[in-house]
């Protein structure tokens, strides 16, 4: 896949949310890279940047072969803070630069009257980081259409990515269409519905029909919707399984059926109304 600035991004990323700060995670990252992952998706808020950095080092891979994504946490907003937070992430990951840096959450309307200004200021700092070469691409997460519209009005550099919750049962078509029109790549977090999709009988049946696992069906569905899935697993066999999705194709009829699938596995997090963290 290609970002709107021409940078190539490996089409499946390894998700690292919930991986603990321990030796097991070092081994998991090393194994994931060993079995072919070249794209690692991290975030300061996951609390495991240093451990992931150790896993990358242990893999002995050349830095240039990897695509590493970091995310700015909400507590680090403010122009100077953002620049320091980005440098801290690069140091934690021991990776010289980030391939992609994302705003983890927009400022929520429910908490901040000045949410537009906050997001715009954050974006200015991101543009600076990009221009300085500390990060090779910049983008956002969890932005809805109106939040993107506001940002694009003032942006010198258009976001290259919007990472959102996207899985069977959470199709988010309005954001997908907007991003497609604006040449913003949609990355899919929780592409497996955080594991909740494995219990759904219709998906089990369809996976059987294609002779694949439910996880492979879910990942392929993301890819065929032109989104970039970020599955996570701690288990080496499942890690491999999630990458092995390039020798089958979901039919148009089945894609239509899955796109219209009932609401299932949704986190319920809404970036406009959220007050929990923001």
Binding footprint of ligand A2P on the chain (CB under 6 A): 15, 190-195, 198, 213, 215, 231-235, 238, 241-242
| Comparison of 79 and 248: residue with beta carbon closer to ligand A2P | 248
Tokens of 153: 């009005």
| Comparison of 82 and 207: residue with beta carbon closer to ligand A2P | 207
Kindly state the smallest distance separating residue 202's Cβ from ligand A2P, in Å. Answer: 17
d(CA 128, CA 17): 27
Kindly state the smallest distance separating residue 278's Cβ from ligand A2P, in Å. Answer: 22
| Comparison of 109 and 238: residue with beta carbon closer to ligand A2P | 238
Tokens of 133: 């070469």
Q: Give residues with Cβ within 8 angstroms of 185, minimum separation 6.
A: 1, 3, 4, 9, 139, 160, 161, 162, 179, 227, 228
Q: Specify whether the CB–CB gap between 175 and 145 falls below 8 A.
A: yes
* Half-sphere exposure (Cβ direction) of 169: Cα atoms closer than 13 Å: 23
Kindly state the smallest distance separating residue 118's Cβ from ligand A2P, in Å. Answer: 28
| Comparison of 82 and 215: residue with beta carbon closer to ligand A2P | 215
| Comparison of 158 and 196: residue with beta carbon closer to ligand A2P | 196
The single-letter DSSP state of residue 122 is: H
Tokens of 67: 């695509």
| Candidates 46, 128, 171, 257; catalytic one | 46
The backbone torsions φ and ψ at residue 91, rounded to the nearest 5 degrees and listed phi first, read -65, -45
Question: Is residue 153 classed as helix, strand or coil in its secondary structure?
Answer: helix
- The most distant pair of C-alpha atoms in the chain lies apart, rounded to whole Å, by 53
Kindly state the smallest distance separating residue 239's Cβ from ligand A2P, in Å. Answer: 7
Q: Is 46 a catalytic residue?
A: yes
CA-based angle 86:92:94, to the nearest 5? 100
Kindly state the smallest distance separating residue 201's Cβ from ligand A2P, in Å. Answer: 16
Q: Catalytic site residues?
A: 46
């Amino acid at each position: 896949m290609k970002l709107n600035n021409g940078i190539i991004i490996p089409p499946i990323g390894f998700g690292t949310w919930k991986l603990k700060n321990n030796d097991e995670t070092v081994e998991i990252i090393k194994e994931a890279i060993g079995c072919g992952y070249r794209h690692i998706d991290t975030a300061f808020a996951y609390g495991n940047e240093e451990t992931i950095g150790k896993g990358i080092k242990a893999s002995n891979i050349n830095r240039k072969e990897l695509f590493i994504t970091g995310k700015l946490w909400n507590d680090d907003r403010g122009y100077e803070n953002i620049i320091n937070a980005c440098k801290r992430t690069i140091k934690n990951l021991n990776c010289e630069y980030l391939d992609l840096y994302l705003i983890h959450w927009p400022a929520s309307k429910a908490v901040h009257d000045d949410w537009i200004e906050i997001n715009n200021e954050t974006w200015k700092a991101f543009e600076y980081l990009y221009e300085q070469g500390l990060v090779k691409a910049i983008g956002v997460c969890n932005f809805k259409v109106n939040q993107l519209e506001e940002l694009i009005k003032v942006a010198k550099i258009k976001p290259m990515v919007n990472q959102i919750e996207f899985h069977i049962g959470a199709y988010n078509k309005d954001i997908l269409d907007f991003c497609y029109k604006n040449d913003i790549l949609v990355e899919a977090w929780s592409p497996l519905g955080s594991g909740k999709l494995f219990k759904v009988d219709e998906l089990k049946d369809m996976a059987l029909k294609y002779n694949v696992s439910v996880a492979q069906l879910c990942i392929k569905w993301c890819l065929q919707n032109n989104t970039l899935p970020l599955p996570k697993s701690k288990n080496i066999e499942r890690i491999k399984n999630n990458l092995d999705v390039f020798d089958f194709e979901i039919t148009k009829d089945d894609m239509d059926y899955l796109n219209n699938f009932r609401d299932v596995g949704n986190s319920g997090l809404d970036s406009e109304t959220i007050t929990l963290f923001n």
